[in-house]
Amino acid sequence: MKKVLVIHGPNLNLLGQREKDIYGETTLEQINSALFQVAGENNVTLDFLQSNHEGEIVDVIGKATENQACAILINPAAYTHTSVAIRDAVAAVDIPTVEVHISNIYSREDFRHQSLIAPVCHGQISGFGRDSYVLGLRAIIHLIN
């Protein structure tokens, strides 16, 4: 079975509690459950990481192929706009990667309009709430099949 690494960046552990007007009431557990359902329907396994620490995210990306991940689904959250280290890690592993965001980052504050990660990804999906993750996983399944 093919394995996809799912990375949730900083503060996503607070989904359902924080800024509900932007992120809604869906929890991280509900997102992971929806991803498990799609993965199960498509004969894919998932490894999850939620981290508020940039270095931990970089380490997990760097070990993705060693851990038999054939693709990455990532919501780098605030690191989207600031992390050259995560960008370089994604570029270094050279496996299909899709960036996702719950909110539409291009309709928010100006500093959120640039993603340092997107240029080294196969694509980016934003603005569809929990469904951004589901659409991103479906895109990855298409890429790896």
Residue 10 tokens read as 């900083």
Give the whole-angstrom CA distance, residue 128 versus residue 90: 23
Catalytic residue among 8, 53, 79, 101: 101
Judge whether 84 and 45 are in contact, CB under 8 Å.
Answer: no
Catalytic residue among 8, 23, 79, 133: 23
Is there a catalytic annotation at residue 23?
A: yes
Give the strand pairing for 2-8 and 69-75.
parallel
Is there a catalytic annotation at residue 101?
A: yes
Give the whole-angstrom CA distance, residue 32 versus residue 108: 25
- The region that residue 63 occupies, defined by phi over 0 for left and psi between -120 and 50 for alpha, beta otherwise, is alpha
Annotated catalytic sites, by residue? 23, 101
